[in-house]
């Protein structure tokens, strides 16, 4: 079973990490890059496949050379065998369409060809949820989205998945498809290891991976557009039909109450707090 | 449906008994799977804890695991004292000779460190056989087919078949109970221990105990400081911490309605402890556990079909007079169980393993230590109520006191006798009356103020680590009337009268003009000791794998 996981580096939007300028625009240079949080579920699904069915897992991403860290993180969590980074100035500023064309071409270049491709449910920056399905369309294989649990029958070369209908946890359907297939893992995805042998293999893989992840660069292949034999006119900014007409900063929610900062160590300031609260306690 | 998994041997629990069994099995190329419910081996385990290696034992921990003492234990105990206390009078006996009887070595241990080290070795050994060790998996019962035990069932895994099942799942063994080999009925059959692991400043242990950085000490305490509850206290030196605890007969704890944490505090704040502890007292962990009294519950035939019981699960905990030995017997029993299956398999009769195990326990002298015939011989008389009362009355009378004075120094020799220690009865006399009279008649007043302020129960619970299985409590009260289950309010080590932050609380409920006193239960602070399973009417299970309390010291 040859499995590929697609992942993306995104700005770390967590409080304390992300940085915005005065106009509310993201300061990309000041904000660290992390693996797209939703990709964690794609990695879990791929890992389940590797643990239960064996075979290899490769992680693929498109982005600047600095994405190596993101790929290393992915390697550690999915116990990946190797990493692929599609990285080239010509690929920069791509919309989902151009990105899908680029990744699908890279998938076609994989030898042996993938049995399963996993992607997460939309990225934290663009939030389109387009890239996975578009890549699948460009490559040409069946797709199952919003997957919450997964069983593979390698002998029959079939996949059976439980998926959320319309992304709603209240409604789950079971679908089957032939392999190769493209799977988008939902954030509700739960890996299942109900056999001791699965958990023991999981433990073996974790120990094996530690060394590999420390030297992840030795296991990373970087491809540019010439390696993929792609015409620069059809990738990156030039190959992107999407036009961003304008960007409006999200207005801050207006504060309904006025906040006053008080130093709890200051007796004077704390006295003021009590004096202001005293009438309220009296029911006024 | 896919086929059921099968292993030659499944070992449930990765404490010393399980580790020994797994090592013995794996070294004989038996495909062995070890299932441990904690997030790491040792995270569910508490012991006093002194680990002995007996000269007469066929297996010791360092036989089975090379480098064990260097890597996994604390200080060796080279001096052993028994303190008889009455008020601020103390008479101290040196019982090192008794301690050294049949002892190759004896080290203080902390279970998280010890068990997790063992688990790494066990995983390496068992993985080579095609098995291995898994944490976070709770075995919840026996898998049966047509009434015969054929494996185990788990919360986290599908049922697993095995030719041999080792229940090393501790004092509250769910497998032993599933097999009908143990029950939780009689409080007289159990002790309850509570323990504080105390952080000590650098160099303080050596300075205050007069040690050299290598050696260690053990101290026992008995007398009038525990409100008449039958039991005593202990103190062991670890590398940089102290293990200080108290152990009481559960029936006595219930009868006196004593609060275990207060009895621990009585020891911690006794003037004698002031020589080792000061106002900088810092408790790292409060823990509790039930201890089976092997004299009464060590199962003479600890097997059923393919199942064998090892260690606490089989009641293999020897508490005889001042001698407290549990883990060493679990190690021996575990290894003998492994041996038994290996031999049975080689004879193409794996189902004979249980009988072979029982025979080995007897032939190697383990069962005799656990159930000493001499104790049984004197028990009938010495634990007879009127006899005990008469003994206590004589001891406390001028005649008895004269006798104690006359015996004087010879008491130390008597206490040091392995022969006598095997027949000490479980009555007030040896635990309370005699030590008190000895201290009053022979002891010296000790000066010094004890400045220790132990944390209250709320802080002790607050310092513990829990992963609560929200909405899935592992204990349910069956009969919540105070008359039936009220003993849990005081006996539970994390509950107390008039304390709202513990497991068990007394509540008054008014319905239709009637007023009932009931107990309510919140399992969140539970330390999984099992006390309430015995003193109250409950449905008691362990939490799912990885859930519940996580001991860092143990």
CATH code for the domain of B342: 3.50.50.60
Tell me which chain B residue has its CA closest to the CA of residue A153. Answer: B2
Q: Write the CB contacts of B77 (distance below 8 Å, at least 6 apart in sequence).
A: B50, B99, B106, B107, B108, B216, B217, B218, B236, B237
Q: Does A200 touch chain B (CB under 8 A)?
A: yes
Q: How far is A156 from chain B (nearest CA, A)?
A: 14
Residue A182 phi/psi, 5-degree rounding, is -110, 130
Tell me which chain B residue has its CA closest to the CA of residue A198. Answer: B157
- Cβ distance A200 to B158 less than 8 Å, yes or no, reads no
* Tens-place pLDDT, residues B143-176: 999 999 999 999 999 999 999 999 999 999 999 9
Task: Indicate the pLDDT class of residue A272, thresholds 50, 70 and 90.
Answer: confident
**How many whole angstroms separate alpha carbon B380 and alpha carbon B378?**
6
Contact (CB, 8 A) for B89 and B271: no
Burial B142-167 (b: 16+ CB within 10 A, else e): bbeeeeebbbbbbbbbebbbbbbbbb
Query: Percent of chain B beyond pLDDT 70?
Result: 97
For residue A126, pLDDT over 90 is answered with no
Task: Indicate the pLDDT class of residue B328, thresholds 50, 70 and 90.
Answer: very high
One domain for residues B152 and B258: no
Q: State the average pLDDT for chain B.
A: 93
Task: Indicate the pLDDT class of residue A107, thresholds 50, 70 and 90.
Answer: very high
- Residue B34 structural domain: 5-74+109-182+299-370
Contact (CB, 8 A) for A240 and A104: no
Contact (CB, 8 A) for A182 and A144: yes
Q: Which of B379, B285, B370 is nearest to B330 (CA)?
A: B370
One domain for residues B241 and B198: yes
Contact (CB, 8 A) for B492 and B451: no
Instruction: Compute how many other C-beta atoms are within 10 angstroms of the C-beta atom of residue B218.
Output: 25
* Optimal mutation site among A156, A191, A196, interface B, most CBs of chain B within 10 A: A196
Tell me which chain A residue has its CA closest to the CA of residue B152. Answer: A196
Q: Does B22 touch chain A (CB under 8 A)?
A: no
- Output the pLDDT for position B420: 64
Q: Which of B72, B43, B1 is nearest to B138 (CA)?
A: B43
Q: Does B35 touch chain A (CB under 8 A)?
A: yes
One domain for residues B157 and B285: no
Q: Write the CB contacts of B84 (distance below 8 Å, at least 6 apart in sequence).
A: B90, B91, B92, B93, B222, B223, B434, B435, B436, B438, B439, B442, B443
One domain for residues B399 and B346: no
Tokens of A150: 């997964």
Mean pLDDT of A77-84: 93
Mean pLDDT of B378-391: 72
Q: Which of B35, B109, B42 is nearest to B70 (CA)?
A: B109
Tell me which chain A residue has its CA closest to the CA of residue B123. Answer: A200
Tokens of B375: 């104790």
- Cβ distance B132 to A195 less than 8 Å, yes or no, reads no
* Burial classification of residue B315, based on how many CB atoms lie within 10 Å of its CB (0-12 exposed, 13-18 middle, 19 or more buried): buried
Mean pLDDT of B313-334: 91
Contact (CB, 8 A) for A12 and A66: no
**How many whole angstroms separate alpha carbon A171 and alpha carbon B340?**
54
Winning range, highest mean pLDDT, from A238-252, B122-136, B174-188, B361-375? B122-136
Q: How far is A83 from chain B (nearest CA, A)?
A: 29
Q: Does B160 touch chain A (CB under 8 A)?
A: yes
- Output the pLDDT for position A182: 96
Q: Does B131 touch chain A (CB under 8 A)?
A: yes
- Cβ distance B5 to A195 less than 8 Å, yes or no, reads yes
Residue B123: beta bridge partners?
none
One domain for residues B147 and B248: no
Domain boundary among B370, B392, B422: B370
- Output the pLDDT for position B423: 63
Q: Does A156 touch chain B (CB under 8 A)?
A: no
One domain for residues B287 and B165: no
Mean pLDDT of A145-174: 91
Longest dimension (CA), chain B: 79
One domain for residues B479 and B497: yes
Tokens of A57: 């897992």
Mean pLDDT of B255-272: 97
Q: Would you give the DSSP letter of residue B481?
A: B
- Output the pLDDT for position A283: 63
Residue A151: beta bridge partners?
A160
One domain for residues B113 and B15: yes
Q: Does B546 touch chain A (CB under 8 A)?
A: no
One domain for residues B115 and B103: no
- Cβ distance A196 to B127 less than 8 Å, yes or no, reads no
One domain for residues B52 and B123: yes
- Cβ distance B5 to A200 less than 8 Å, yes or no, reads no
Q: How far is A204 from chain B (nearest CA, A)?
A: 9
Placement of tokens 């990490």 in the chain? A17
Q: How far is B342 from chain A (nearest CA, A)?
A: 23
CATH number of the domain that residue B506 is part of: 3.30.70
- Output the pLDDT for position B98: 87
Placement of tokens 């788990």 in the chain? B154
Tokens of A28: 């990309």
**If you classify domain A2-234 with CATH, what class do you get?**
alpha beta
One domain for residues B81 and B60: no
**How many whole angstroms separate alpha carbon B239 and alpha carbon B292?**
28
Mean pLDDT of A94-114: 92
Q: Tell me the domain boundaries of chain A.
A: 2-234
Q: Does A194 touch chain B (CB under 8 A)?
A: yes
- Output the pLDDT for position A142: 95
Domain boundary among B370, B402, B418: B370
Please tell me which residue, B438 or B206, carries the higher pLDDT value.
B206
Q: Would you give the DSSP letter of residue A225?
A: T
| Chain A residues closer than 8 Å to B5 by CB | 195-197
For residue B204, pLDDT over 90 is answered with yes
Q: How far is A4 from chain B (nearest CA, A)?
A: 26
Domain boundary among B430, B463, B496: B463
| Chain A residues closer than 8 Å to B137 by CB | 196, 199
One domain for residues B288 and B262: yes
* Optimal mutation site among B5, B8, B9, B137, interface A, most CBs of chain A within 10 A: B5
- Output the pLDDT for position B1: 52
Q: Does A204 touch chain B (CB under 8 A)?
A: yes
Q: Does A252 touch chain B (CB under 8 A)?
A: no
For residue A119, pLDDT over 90 is answered with yes
Mean pLDDT of A51-55: 93
For residue B426, pLDDT over 90 is answered with no
Structural domain total, chain B: 3
Contact (CB, 8 A) for B160 and B175: no
* Tens-place pLDDT, residues B20-51: 999 999 999 999 999 999 999 999 999 998 99
């Amino acid at each position: 079973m040859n499995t590929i996981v697609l992942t993306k580096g995104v700005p770390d939007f967590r409080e304390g990490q992300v940085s915005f300028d005065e106009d509310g625009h993201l300061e990309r240079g000041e904000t660290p890059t992390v693996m797209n949080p939703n990709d964690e579920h794609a990695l879990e699904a791929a890992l389940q496949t590797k643990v239960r069915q064996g075979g290899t897992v490769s992680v693929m991403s498109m982005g600047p050379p600095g994405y190596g860290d993101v790929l290393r993180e992915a390697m550690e969590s999915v116990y990946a065998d190797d990493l692929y980074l599609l990285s080239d100035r010509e690929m920069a500023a791509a919309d989902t369409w151009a990105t899908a064309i680029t990744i699908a071409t890279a998938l076609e270049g994989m030898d042996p060809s993938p049995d399963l491709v996993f992607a997460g449910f939309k990225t934290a920056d663009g939030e389109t949820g387009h890239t996975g399905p578009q890549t699948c369309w460009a490559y040409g294989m069946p797709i199952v989205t919003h997957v919450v649990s997964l069983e593979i029958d390698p002998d029959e070369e079939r996949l059976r998945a439980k998926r959320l209908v319309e992304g709603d946890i209240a409604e789950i359907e079971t679908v089957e498809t032939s392999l190769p297939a493209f799977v988008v893992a939902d954030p509700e995805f739960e890996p299942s290891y109900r056999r001791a042998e699965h958990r023991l293999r999981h433990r073996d893989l974790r120990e094996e991976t530690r060394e590999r992840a420390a030297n992840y660069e030795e296991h990373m292949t970087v491809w540019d557009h010439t390696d993929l034999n792609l015409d620069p006119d059809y990738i990156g900014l030039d190959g992107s039909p999407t036009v961003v007409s304008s960007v409006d900063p999200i207005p801050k929610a207006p504060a309904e109450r006025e906040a006053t900062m008080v130093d709890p160590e200051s007796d004077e300031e704390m006295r003021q707090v009590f004096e202001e609260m005293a009438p309220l306690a009296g029911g006024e | 449906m896919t086929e059921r998994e099968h292993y030659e041997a499944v070992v449930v629990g990765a404490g010393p008994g399980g580790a020994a069994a797994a090592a013995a099995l794996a070294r004989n190329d038996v495909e062995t799977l070890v299932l441990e419910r904690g997030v790491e081996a040792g995270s569910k385990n508490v012991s006093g804890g002194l680990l002995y290696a007996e000269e007469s034992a066929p297996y010791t921990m360092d036989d089975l695991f090379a480098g064990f003492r260097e890597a996994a234990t604390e200080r060796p105990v080279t001096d052993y004292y028994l303190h008889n206390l009455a008020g601020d009078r103390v008479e101290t006996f040196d019982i090192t000779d008794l301690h050294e009887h049949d002892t190759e070595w004896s080290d203080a241990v902390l279970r998280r460190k010890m068990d997790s080290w063992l688990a790494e070795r066990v995983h390496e050994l068992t993985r080579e056989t095609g098995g291995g060790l898994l944490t976070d998996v709770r075995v919840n019962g026996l898998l049966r087919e047509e009434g015969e035990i054929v494996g185990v069932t788990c919360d986290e895994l599908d049922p697993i078949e095995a030719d041999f099942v080792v229940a090393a799942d501790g004092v509250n063994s769910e497998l032993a109970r599933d097999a009908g080999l143990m029950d939780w009925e009689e409080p007289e059959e159990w002790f309850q221990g509570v323990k504080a692991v105390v952080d000590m400043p650098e160099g303080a242990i050596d300075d205050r105990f007069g040690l050299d950085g290598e050696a260690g000490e053990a101290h026992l305490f008995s007398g009038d400081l525990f409100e008449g509850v039958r039991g005593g206290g202990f103190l062991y030196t670890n590398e940089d911490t102290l293990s200080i605890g108290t152990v009481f007969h559960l029936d006595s704890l219930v009868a006196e309605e004593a609060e275990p944490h207060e009895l621990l505090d009585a020891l911690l704040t006794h003037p004698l402890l002031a020589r080792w502890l000061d106002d900088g007292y810092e408790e790292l962990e409060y823990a509790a556990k039930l201890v089976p009294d092997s004299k009464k519950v060590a199962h003479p035939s600890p097997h059923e079909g393919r199942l064998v019981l090892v260690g606490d699960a089989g009641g293999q905990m020897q508490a005889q007079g001042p001698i407290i030995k549990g883990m060493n017997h679990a190690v021996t029993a575990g290894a003998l169980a492994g041996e038994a299956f290996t031999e049975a398999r080689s004879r193409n009769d794996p189902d004979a393993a249980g009988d072979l195990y029982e025979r080995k326990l007897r032939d190697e002298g383990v069962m005799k230590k656990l159930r000493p015939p001499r104790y049984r011989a004197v028990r009938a008389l010495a634990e007879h109520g009127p006899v005990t009362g008469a003994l206590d009355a004589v001891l406390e009378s001028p005649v008895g006191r004269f006798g104690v004075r006359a015996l004087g120094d010879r008491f130390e020799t008597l206490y040091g006798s392995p022969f006598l220690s095997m027949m000490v009865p479980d009555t007030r006399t040896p635990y309370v009356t005699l030590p008190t009279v000895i201290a009053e008649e022979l002891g010296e007043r000790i000066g010094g103020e004890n400045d220790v302020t132990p944390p209250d129960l709320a802080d002790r619970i607050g310092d513990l680590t829990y992963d609560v299985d929200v909405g899935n409590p592992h204990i349910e009260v069956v009969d919540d009337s105070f008359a039936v289950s009220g003993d849990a309010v005081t006996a539970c080590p994390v509950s107390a009268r008039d304390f709202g932050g513990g497991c068990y609380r007394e509540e008054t409920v008014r319905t239709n003009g009637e007023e009932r006193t009931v107990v309510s239960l919140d399992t969140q602070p539970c330390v999984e000791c099992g006390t309430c399973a015995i003193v109250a009417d409950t449905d008691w299970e362990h939490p799912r794998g990885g859930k519940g309390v996580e001991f860092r010291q143990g």
